[in-house]
Amino acid sequence: MSNDCAIQTEDLTKTFGTFCAVNGVTFTVRRGSIFGFLGPNGAGKTTTMRVLLGLLTPTSGRAEVLGYDVAHQPRAVRKRIGYMSQRFSLYDDLTVGENLRFYGRTYGLNAQRLRERIQFVLEMADLVGRERLRARELSGGWRQRLALGTAILHEPELVFLDEPTAGVDPVSRRAFWELLWAD
């Protein structure tokens, strides 16, 4: 597999018992590219993504993310990627600041770097002044911004977004995409 690729799969298959969720998928994503899965519900998009994240082991075939084999080096993959699920993996009882500190520590950021990255995320996501609000008190759009912030806090080489705008209003959806494409 090639070093200039962010993701490479060859005949990737994932089954659950007799059910085949992903069947012989082969594709390549070059570094620096934007890539998306399109398809109906149940087509295997999220399952493929979970295999690429190192959360599920492929039944057969191969997949590499950033040069690491997802089946044999899942920890190496997870250290280098960010992931934002469609359900926003936030802790509702924690404040915005506490969520960011929790994720930053989980990613292994030292105290100084964590302070710098939290400040960056607060400014990037326009969450300055909302640090003491509990995540459950945020609207869907603000929760979405915080979830993106937690996904990029550790400056991952690659970010996976799984339906990041599902269930939010059109204004919040547009604001989210503008946030991603900002200079």
Residue 84 domain-assigned (yes or no): no
> What φ, ψ does residue 179 adopt, rounded to 5°?
-60, -45
Please give the pLDDT value at position 4: 87
Q: What is the CATH number of the domain that holds 137?
A: 3.40.50.300
Residues 35 and 100 in one domain: no
At which of 54, 79, 104 does a domain end?
79
Q: Left (φ > 0), alpha (ψ -120 to 50) or beta: where does 21 sit?
A: alpha
Q: Write out the two tokens for 108.
A: 């292994």
In a domain, 70, yes or no: yes
- Examine the domain organization and report whether 60 and 109 are in the same domain: no
Low-confidence residues of the chain: pLDDT under 70? 1-2, 87-88, 168, 182-183
List the domain range (segments joined by +) for residue 109.
96-181
Domain annotation covers residue 174: yes
Boundary (domain end) residue, out of 34, 54, 79:
79
Q: Which residue is it, tokens 């590499």?
A: 64
Q: What pLDDT is attached to residue 34?
A: 87
What total number of domains does the chain contain? 2
Q: For residue 148, tell me if it sits in a domain.
A: yes
Do residue 102 and residue 172 come from a single domain?
A: yes
Do residues 120 and 69 share a domain?
no
In this prediction, residue 115 carries a pLDDT of 96
167: left (phi over 0), alpha (psi -120 to 50) or beta: left
Query: Is 18 within the bounds of a domain?
Result: yes
Do the domain assignments include residue 37? Answer: yes
DSSP 20-88: EEEEEEEEEEETT--------TTSSHHHHHHHHTTSS--SEEEEEETTEETTT-HHHHHHHEEEE-TT-
- Whole-Å CA distances, 80 to 6, 150, 160, 174: 11, 14, 11, 27
Last residue of a domain, one of 44, 79, 114: 79
Q: 61 with 12: CB under 8 angstroms?
A: yes
* Res 1: pLDDT: 59
Query: What is the β-pairing status of strands 81-84 and 68-69?
Result: unpaired
**Distance between the two ends of the chain, CA-based, in angstroms?**
32
Q: What's the confidence (pLDDT) of residue 169?
A: 72
CB 88 within 8 A of CB 143: yes
